[in-house]
Homo-oligomer: A and B are copies of this chain.
């Protein structure tokens, strides 16, 4: 993700990419060269008074430490999700982020299609919101070696949808139910994870949200949201690779949907960094902050527990 965010930062008006910090010197030099930045150590970067903000795109287990150092140095921080896989650690560090300009990398909040959907839901296009259906299907399963440090399907993957649910519902989920299978790759199962899941959230007022996840769709990167309300429904559909359609005797064929997240969410990543420029310059409140990371992680833990125990988990139980 550092490649994506760095390149976007280098092109964003109002931002200048000054340093590239990477423990692998070669990688640091290559990226620095490509973006007009300098390779540097984290200390160098954080002590440079001209540096206003930091993009934390390290490995997941470094996110929290890096972010803490940057915040301590008074920098605005963009941090890739998740903050950390350990909810206890994340909760313990929370006080130190108070008042910080901290943007968490829930990029889907910046996707133009989902933003258009939210704008219309908030404007009452479907009346009172009653339920959501979120589809998040990855095109192809990750290599097995990725699984052990991933945090598992719910913390690594579903967490995006849990954040979307919170963002759209306008009310915190009060109960969680999740069930899952290992249908895609038995190796994932041997490593203790699942690859196909359905999650149901319920808010105190009774709003419902279903999340559909699989690690391998077989047809591209399926990213859809449907919202149902008292006066109708609204849906954000998939993005096709082109608009071409062929009609023949046996039917109509059209282009596949977007291949993967770099293709589908390119615009959201650009918009996210442009938003971070605004946050760093003090002109905008972060679209998603530390507390959003805590809440999504707590929901992901509740999903894991629900799956294990075969019952609804109340969010109070996890706090």
Query: Which of A18-26, A55-63, A243-251, A296-304 contacts its partner?
Result: A243-251
A172 interface residue per 8 A CB criterion: no
Distance A176 CA – B287 CA, assembled complex (angstroms): 37
Distance A137 CA – B133 CA, assembled complex (angstroms): 13
Contact of A232 among B128, B130, B218, B244 (CB under 8 A): B218
Interface size class of A (residues with CB under 8 A): 35 or more
Distance A14 CA – B273 CA, assembled complex (angstroms): 26
Q: Which of A128, A133, A175, A244 has the most chain B CB atoms inside 10 A of its CB?
A: A244
Q: Which of A217, A243, A311 has the most chain B CB atoms inside 10 A of its CB?
A: A243
Identify the closest chain B residue to A128 (Cβ): B183
- Inside 8 A of A93's CB, which chain B residues have their CB? none
- Inside 8 A of A242's CB, which chain B residues have their CB? 112-113, 116, 236
Query: Which of A67-75, A143-151, A156-164, A207-215 contacts its partner?
Result: A207-215
Binding site for B on A (CB under 8 A): 112-113, 116-117, 120, 125-128, 130-131, 133, 137, 175, 177, 179, 181-184, 196-198, 200, 202, 206-208, 210, 212, 214, 216-220, 222, 228-240, 242-257, 310-312
Given contacts A181-B208, A220-B247, 8 further A-B contacts (CB under 8 A): A125-B246, A130-B184, A183-B207, A210-B210, A217-B228, A231-B249, A234-B245, A249-B256
